Amino acid sequence: MIRLEKRPQPSKAWSYATPLLAVLLTMVAGGALFAILGKDPLLAIRTIFWEPLFGEFAWYYRGQLLIKAGPLVLIAIGLSLGFRAGIWNIGAEGQYIMGAIFGAAVGLAFYPMEARWLIFPLMIIAGAFGGFVWAMIPALLKTKFNTNEILVSLLLVYVAEQFLASMALGLLRNPEGSGFPGSRNLQQYPAAANGELIAGTGLHWGGVAALIAVILAYILLNRHMLGFQIRVTGESPRAARFAGVKPNLLVVVCMGISGGLAGLAGLFEVAGPAGQISIDFNSGYGFTAIIVAFLGRLHPVGILLAGLLLALTYIGGEAAQANLGLPAAAIQAFQGMLLFFLLAVDVLTNFRVRIGKGEMA
pLDDT digits (tens, 9 = 90+) for 265-289: 999 999 999 999 999 998 889 999 9
- Asked if 166 and 152 touch (Cβ cutoff 8 Å), the reply is no
Total residues found in the chain within this entry: 361
237: Cα within 13 Å, side-chain hemisphere: 8
**How many other C-beta atoms lie within 10 A of the C-beta of residue 355?**
10
In angstroms, the CA 51 to CA 334 distance is 17
Q: pLDDT digits over 90-142, tens only?
A: 999 999 999 999 999 999 999 999 999 999 999 999 999 999 999 999 999 99
Nearest to 289 by CA among 210, 232, 195: 210
Burial of 359 (0-12, 13-18, 19+ CB in 10 A): exposed
Give the ranges where the chain is alpha helix by DSSP (H). 12-36, 41-49, 51-54, 58-84, 92-109, 116-145, 149-169, 205-223, 225-235, 237-242, 247-270, 285-295, 300-324, 328-345, 347-350
Q: What angle do CA 295, 219, 81 make, to 5 degrees?
A: 45
Domain residue spans in the chain? Answer: 71-297
pTM for this structure? 0.92
Q: Which residues of the chain have pLDDT under 50?
A: 359-361
The DSSP symbol for 186 reads G
